Structure 1
Amino acid sequence: MSVAIRKPSRDESLPHEAGGIAYGRRHGRGAQTNRSGRFEAKTYEPVDDGWESLGDLEALRTEVQEVPARRIITKNDSPDIGFDRSINPYRGCEHGCIYCFARPTHAFLGMSPGLDFETKLFAKTNAAQALERELAAPGYVPRMIAIGSNTDPYQPVERRYRIMRRLLEVLSAANHPVGIVTKSALVLRDLDILQSMAERGLVKVALSVTTLERRLARAMEPRASTPDKRLEAVETLASAGIPASVMVAPVVPGLTDTEIERILERASAAGACEAGYILLRLPLEIGDLFVEWLRANCPDRADRVLSLMRQTRGGKLYDAQWQGRMEGDGPYAWMIGRRFQMAAERLGLDKQHRLRTDLFTPPTLPGQQLSLL
């Protein structure tokens, strides 16, 4: 196999569905290739020269670089999401979900949103100390902090670094509300802290379930917990009194959309108290990567999936317009939304669990003068 080098055109805004063919695949990884990011002067694509046989390539090891975070709370003013602040303990995610909308962030580091995103990670080892500083800042107003909205806080390297657990310890001590989204049963490791926070109305946890088909899940989300393990985690959380929900996300038209009702029924049986969904999003480099993955893993369904995606995005593979990018547009997108709504209402999963902010107590930093009042 050889590598073709070309300079990208300024007009390139949609994925090149005919290019970037994956010759072989990396065991345990989602992306088929290591396509160059959008800021690179040249792009590199694999080309079959007839010398290398197809099949599995050498496994890639995960590399983790420890980096200090100057600030850890990220603010946003998006009208599409229900929170204005979040925390990402890691950059990159070992779960390797092919559709992950955080992939393009690796391009800012001069790395590929493809295999680099899954194998070259950054751990913010001082995240808990940074959070404590920011919560103690004069004038800080508490609102729910979302963790897991970008990269998964319970990805495999969390077993070693335990950054998420230390963040929860800070939030619990300050009586600060937090909403967690994950694809990992590792969340149960922190059941003691989560249960204590739930008793004070400070936490809710959502498990993301894309499909119930084990083989499809392993191909799309190679290092995430199996769908059954995620639903078992929902059941354990709910049994412990922790508000648990399921995110049917992303819904992939023509691939996973037939499972909406079954996922919600399993979530309800497990004790989930609410549910949500997001239509597949393919911004920036994710389009190329997803098309590569789709043609390599689901060649018989690829054309239909891409056709349905365009039907939900105004003829394109992705439309980034505010207040539409999460649910899409057109008859097919409307049908997905209506099916989800009807099933959620029938199963009592259409409620919203609100967290308390009135218990917040700012941390006291070393050397900080205590309040007299």
Structure 2
Amino acid sequence: MPLAVYILGLAIFAQGTSELMLAGLLPELSADLGVSIPQAGLLISAFAVGMLVGAPVLAVVTLRWPRRTALLVFLALFALSHVAGALTPNYEILLVTRIVGAFVYAGFWAVAAVTAVGLVPVTSRARAMSVVTGGLTIATIVGLPAGTMIGQHLGWRAAFWTVGALSVCAMAGVLATIPLGRPDPARIPRISAEVRAMANPRLWLSYATTAFVTAAILVVFSYLAPLLTETTGLHASAVPAVLALYGVGSLIGITIGGRYSDALPFHTLAIGITGLCAMSTVLAFWAAAPMVAIAAIFLLGGFGFAVNPALNARVFSLAGDAPTLATAVNFSSFNVGITIGPWLGGLAINAGAGYQALGWIAAMLGLVALSTVVLAVLLPGRVTSRTSGRVAPVSTRVVPTGRGTEISGI
């Protein structure tokens, strides 16, 4: 795997730490800025909204930019948004910086994904994406607790400064490893081609799978801390360790998924989503049993993140020669799930259903996601590629890539 792919994963780690760490800094933010904790929580929602909009917009705006230039601009703006956030005493300005930071973070995701798969053979796309998205998984294991500890001991502004510094380090890595070269005029992406690629119905089924799988994961993950303390009966001091265990499971899952998703995308999706439903059901029944609940949470992270490489690589296959906008919308689909999952969980908790009900909601969302995978398999007009083992529409064409041949339109 090229070093540049790992550098892109490092950049996602830096930015993902910012995305996650606010969950552990709400009390400090609330006290320092003079706002309520629910108001401070809106900073998390603002970040999700910025990502939801930013990916497709910036994918189109920077379509003809050299990818290294786009990545550096996004990282620079992300770093500056954190400097501005660290310096401001004003809640409203901080809210704006979170939206701006999320906006360019989403753009970075979209361009980084296209860059990563362009650096490897077509048979290694999912593995490359597992490295890039693994940066976010490591942010869950390392960045979230580290950002929380820095914020608790040195103040939340110090955590923002740290993220800004990490982003600058990522810029240096991008500058050193990503080739500058302007795109070949014959292969410069065209907006018309990008829009036409979006007409593929299987692409929208893939988006639906992404949204429902993410919602199923987040409906439980968003409320893991109170579930563990109020239902499982663990002491609050044990919660970080269980969250770290969830992160380890996620890292194992995304590694295994990255290894098998290129050759067996539908098998990976089916096994991962089925496991996600099973572990959610275990939590619904036995969340009050500590050993069972902890094991289920570990496996929930593993199964949930195992499907991530397949979800990303499938979009590239379906979009053919025009993947930029399609990939950006896929990242927006992740954020639809990030928005829907916690919202549904909150409705259930406010209705008095209890934290174990989150497992049932996650299982139902997982079953809907699984149905979209089955529907994609059953759609007519598909043939199997002997060279890749993947399923492709009848109207395929072979495109020389410099690394052998690639079947476009898969």
The structure showing larger relative contact order (alpha-carbon pairs under 8 Å, at least 6 residues apart) is 2
**TM class, shorter-length:** under 0.3
- Which protein is richer in strand relative to its size? 1
- Which protein is richer in helix relative to its size? 2
TM-score (norm 1): 0.26
